[in-house]
Each structure stands twice: as C-alpha cells, then as structure tokens.
Amino acid sequence: MFLKKFKLIFHLYILAFSTYIIHKAAFFIFKLNDLNFHYSLEVLYLIFLLLATILLAIILRFKKDKFDSIGMFFMLVTFIQMFVAYIVLQPILSDKFHNIRFEKINFFITFILFLLFETLLTVRLLNEKR
C-alpha cells in the first residue's frame, strides 16, 4: 500500500539518479571542471529533486479529493518552481568575472530534465484509471 501510493516519487528518484550518473559521466568524459561553478552538479540535483518531490507530493495529496484539479495544481506549483529556479540562477547571471557559459548550460539542462520528469510523471498519474 505504502509503495503503491508513493510509486511516482520512487520513479522520480530513479530517473534523477540515473540522469545524474549520465550527467556526471559527461563531465568526466569532456573533462569539464565544476570547481568554479556557483552550484555543483550535486547541489543542483538536490535542489531540483527537492522541488520535484514537493510538487509530486502535493499532486498525490490532492489525487483522491480533487482529481479534476491536478492539472491546475501542477501548473501553479510549476510556476512557483520557476520563480525559485530564477532566484537560484540569479548569482550565475550576475557574475561578471568568470566564464559562466557552461554553468548556465548545466543549470538549464538540469532544470529542463526535472521539468520533463515532473510532466511525464504527472501525465502518468492523470492517465491512471480512477
């Protein structure tokens, strides 16, 4: 019962962990150094994983009572999540001293990946039969 209820969050963690491994391997293969980044790859994944977990927990909470409003909850929480991402991105955008091109690309790849995960898992939830 417990595992069935939180199956979507478990899938999110599997997706996040597997893409983290691939992302870290890409850094290793292309010999990219993230020591000068404002946020390391691990910190970015933890931030976005926390935000995605909160989003899916809210959606799972309202699944039984307000199934028809899940799409609206998803859009609202995603909108709030974009503001949080912008706040996290602000130090990267305001840096004038370092070449931050790769850090911006890394941030947006991570953001888009988690947005894709959240969308796919929410669609899977909406497609389940009641």
CB atoms closer than 10 angstroms to residue 117: 22
pLDDT, tens only, 78-121: 999 999 999 999 998 888 777 788 899 999 999 999 999 999 99
Q: Give the model's confidence band at 2: pLDDT under 50 very low, under 70 low, under 90 confident, else very high.
A: low
* pLDDT for 106: 92
3-state secondary structure of 54: helix
Total domains in the chain come to 1
Note the Cα 85 to chain centre separation in Å.
10
Global model pTM greater than 0.75: yes
The residue with greater pLDDT, 111 or 66, is: 111
* pLDDT for 126: 87
Does the pLDDT of residue 21 top 90, yes or no? yes
For residue 106 the two structure tokens come to: 């890394």
Supply the range of the domain harboring residue 87: 2-127
pLDDT, tens only, 35-59: 888 999 999 999 999 999 999 998 8
* pLDDT for 130: 57
What's the CA gap between 26 and 126, in Å, rounded?
Answer: 34
* pLDDT for 84: 94
Q: What's the average model confidence in pLDDT over 63-82?
A: 89
Helices (H), the chain: 2-5, 7-29, 41-61, 70-94, 101-127
